[in-house]
Amino acid sequence: MNLKIMFRSGRFVTGLILVLIVIGYAIFYPMINPTNPKQDRIPNPLYVETEKLRAYLNAEEYDKANQEIERLSKIEDESLQKVLAEVKSALESGHIKKALSGAKQIKKTHPLYKEFETLRITLGFDSSIPADEEAARAELEKLTAHHQSVLAVAEFLKSGDLSSIEAYTKEDQTLAQEIQPILESDPSTWAESAETLVKNHMETYKWIQEIQKRLDTFSNEEPLKALAGIQKTLLVPKNSPPSKTFPLGTDSFSRNIIVEMAYGARLSLEIGFSAGVVATLIGLILGLYAGFKGGLPDNIITMLTNTFIVIPSMVIMILVSVALGQVRSWWVTSLIISLTAWPWTARAVRAQTTSLRNRDHVNMARITGYGTFHIILTEIMPYLASYIVMAFILQVASGIMTEATIAILGIGDPTAISLGRMINWALQYESVRSGRWWEFVPVALCITSVTFGLYLMNSGMDEVFNPKIRS
Amino acid sequence: MKGFWKYFRKKLIWYFITFLIALFLNFLLPRLIPGNPVDLLLAEMLSGVTDTARATEIRQSTYNYFGLDKPLIQQFFIYVNNVFHGNLGRSFNQYPRLVSDILTQSLPWTIAIQLPSLIIGWIVGNILGAVAAYRKGIFDRTIFPLSLFFSSIPVFVLALLMKYYLGVYAHWFPMQGAYDAELMPSATFTFYWSLFRHWQLPFLATCLVMIGGQAIGMRSMSLYELNADYVLYAKLLGIPENKITKYVFKNAVLPQITGLALSLGTMISGALITEIVFSYPGIGTQLVNAIHNVDYTLISGCTLFISITALIANFTIEIIYGLIDPRIRAIQLEEE
């Protein structure tokens, strides 16, 4: 077979270019855009757990978070540093959820909260640490109110107004405990004790005010806000339309579609090509054997071929996939496709071999004493070569379409990203109805340029090798 | 008619064996599922039962009910017997609906889309293909690439793009379902109009793909015949062009008829994806829901149904061919 003459066909060349564009995109795009650590954290999204799949980061927010980690790492505090290290590694490996809970931990282990704890103990409260900034503010308000009550009670102590004191101690148990020893002592010393009480509390009040001030600046610090607000801003929004950062937008899992589609195209091509190779090989071997040998082997193989042709391949695929249940990976899908796709090739190869079997040059070779294998290889294969290549091309195209069909039906490996799976997601998450075209139009174009390209190649070759159908 | 009955008998036996193989696959494969479906059902039933003796009793009676306590080969015969009586069991997910009821309710929807679109697509496709081959020039240069495009574009891609551009974006067609959700099925004009509107898009999508494939096939068959020796000979004899064209067309369209019959036979599996894209309530939507809900009886009911229709279609084609073409009978009988 002269390969050069195929390039005389415009259709073949156009088809080849279309297919090569997609192959090039699938192989080289992830290289040119090597999983930019700031945009997406996925080295290979095909085999990682779901949580990681969500972790496409916004570059700007990622920088801010890192700056804040840098700043906080200067604070000498063991437990804080421990949490910081955790957050840092979580961010780097793309575990956003872990980073989020870590960021919350940072707030709790921040020295400010520890000081809060000491303050509460000094004032006679329990040693609870506020859960977050809001709780801390509420607690501070309570402590301020407590301080006010202390001042008021001190005044009543001086004037000896017991009933008014009782009104305060009823509401504030800590206060009640604190002034209990004073009330039990001699009323003549009450005024003096009240003075000391006020003096002590003025100091702790300064402390409260200081913490209040620091809490204010604490929440005004932008970088810390960025770290705490990871959930809102650090994660790329779901279903965002195409933008500069995400040329094809993001999907329902916040994944960068242009990268995801490159991986999807790669897997679809892998499945299509491997299924095409296996199906063509099975069809070729069985067809050649049946056609060349004739007799009983021919009868058995023909019967097998016809059975597989008559029972719809879709049925076998659905039943096998359902039976396999959770045992799913891309090569299983590829195997199922090839096991249902070979019969057509086998039938055609058998028919052609049967017609070649009794030609003079084949009989000549037989008389000369060559073995079956040698005769098939040198006397029969050359006549079939162009047909086999064409059949292979069609097998690849139908393999890619079948894989997509399987994915859309909801069978096959649900974790692998393929073009069909992306369409399945678009249908499941209502992308079409909501008009989020970027989630399926590029995928549709990608898969169509592969199948259309392959059909063009096939039809171009047909024109070259079958002069009878030239117009 | 020499040898027809022998041919018929041979085909009948062969198709019967194939039917048994299809039955066996439908029987065996769902039973290979790790943790078989009945166990899953049992787990649900037994979730509230604490008494062990009672639980064993329930398990045994359920196994007995589904016939799982019998040897596999006996189970197969029970299954075959049930299938021959039209009993495909009850749906797990839509319990207690019968699988056969669900199938007969969904079938009309599938046929309503597929039958007209396959037949109209076949007619239009063959005319276009013949025109491209006979008229050549600009006709061939536009019809052929377009047909190639529509035959190579996966049907789900076409359906998806049509749904988006014509349904969601342009609002020309309703985008999913078989009729407006707020309407109740009734014999009113509004309802029929709604049915028709919803029918158009899935019909168009299936029809376009069929047109593409048929035009490609008809074009190459016609070219093949036009380049045949007998055409040249007829021209040399001075036979009028019209008469030659008639012969060429007759010869070229014969394989196309097989194509039509085959696609009618596989129309249910061919319709699956289009129905899913448009949420059209046919067998495809039932099947995808069954897969989604792991409804084993419904899945295997659907696959069995698809296999049987395909077998019947193929059988009919072969018998008709044997009837009209003595050469086929001769070849088949000679081979065996």
Residue ranges of the alpha helices (H) in B176-240?
189-226, 229-237
Q: How sure is the predictor about A38, in pLDDT bands with cuts at 50, 70 and 90? A: very low
Q: Which residues pair with A57 in a beta bridge?
A: A235
Q: How sure is the predictor about A469, in pLDDT bands with cuts at 50, 70 and 90? A: low
The DSSP 8-state label assigned to residue A252 in this structure reads T
Q: Residue A421 above 60 pLDDT?
A: yes
The alpha carbon of residue A334 is apart from the nearest alpha carbon of chain B, in Å, by 18
Q: Residue A211 above 60 pLDDT?
A: yes
Taking residue B252's Cβ as centre, other Cβ atoms within 10 Å add up to: 23
Residues 6+ apart with CB under 8 A from A68: A223, A224, A226, A227
From the list B154, B223, B335, which residue is nearest A447 (CB)?
B154
Taking residue A235's Cβ as centre, other Cβ atoms within 10 Å add up to: 18
pLDDT per residue, tens digit, chain B (336 aa), is 667 888 888 889 989 999 998 898 888 887 776 666 677 677 777 776 777 777 788 778 777 776 777 777 888 888 888 888 888 878 877 777 888 899 999 999 999 999 999 999 999 999 999 989 888 888 888 888 899 899 888 888 999 999 999 988 888 888 888 887 777 777 788 888 888 989 999 999 999 999 999 999 899 888 888 888 888 899 899 889 888 888 888 888 888 888 888 888 788 887 888 898 898 988 988 888 888 887 888 888 899 988 988 888 888 888 888 787 777 777 766 655
The pLDDT value recorded for residue A265 is 92
Q: Tens digits of per-residue pLDDT, B141-195?
A: 888 889 989 988 888 899 999 999 998 888 888 888 888 777 777 778 888 888 8
Instruction: Tell which B residues from 250 to 269 touch A, by Cβ distance under 8 Å.
Output: 266, 269
Q: What integer is the mean pLDDT of A199-223?
A: 72
The pLDDT value recorded for residue A281 is 95
The pLDDT value recorded for residue A256 is 76
Q: Which of A319, A418, A438, A446 to mutate to test the interface with B (most CBs of B within 10 A)?
A: A319
**Beta carbons of A319 and B15 less than 8 Å apart:** no
Distance of CA A163 to the CA centre of its chain: 67
Q: Which of B19, B29, B162, B333 to mutate to test the interface with A (most CBs of A within 10 A)?
A: B29
Phi-psi label, residue B183: left if phi above 0, alpha if psi -120 to 50, beta otherwise: beta
The pLDDT value recorded for residue A39 is 41
The pLDDT value recorded for residue A51 is 37
The pLDDT value recorded for residue B1 is 62
**Beta carbons of B311 and A311 less than 8 Å apart:** yes
Query: What is the rounded average pLDDT for all residues in chain A?
Result: 79
The pLDDT value recorded for residue B333 is 63
Q: Which two tokens stand for residue A189?
A: 């010393």
| Residue B22 touches chain A, beta carbons under 8 Å | yes
Question: ipTM for the complex?
Answer: 0.85
Q: Residue A231 above 50 pLDDT?
A: no
The pLDDT value recorded for residue A222 is 44
3-state secondary structure of B279: coil
The pLDDT value recorded for residue A55 is 42
Q: Which of A145-149, A421-425, B58-62 has the highest mean pLDDT?
A: A421-425
CA distance B326 to B306: 31
Find chain B residues with C-beta within 8 A of A14's C-beta.
none
Q: Which of B164, B216, B251 to mutate to test the interface with A (most CBs of A within 10 A)?
A: B164
Whether the link from the prior residue into B96 is cis, omega within 30° of 0, is yes
The pLDDT value recorded for residue A176 is 78
CA distance B178 to B280: 6
Instruction: Tell which B residues from 111 to 170 touch A, by Cβ distance under 8 Å.
Output: 133, 136, 140, 148-149, 151-154, 156-157, 160-161, 163-164, 168-169
Look up the pTM and report it: 0.75
Residue of B nearest to A321 (CA): B29
Q: Residue A61 above 70 pLDDT?
A: no
Q: Tens digits of per-residue pLDDT, A313-366?
A: 888 888 888 887 665 678 888 998 998 999 989 999 998 888 888 888 888 888
Q: Residue A230 above 50 pLDDT?
A: no
Cα separations in angstroms, A331 against A83, A394, B25, B141: 42, 19, 22, 40
Q: Tens digits of per-residue pLDDT, A124-137?
A: 777 676 666 677 77
More confident residue, B161 or A194: B161
Q: Tens digits of per-residue pLDDT, A263-313?
A: 889 989 999 999 999 999 999 999 999 988 888 888 899 888 988 888 888
CA distance A466 to A436: 45
CA distance B248 to B133: 11
CA distance A437 to A443: 10
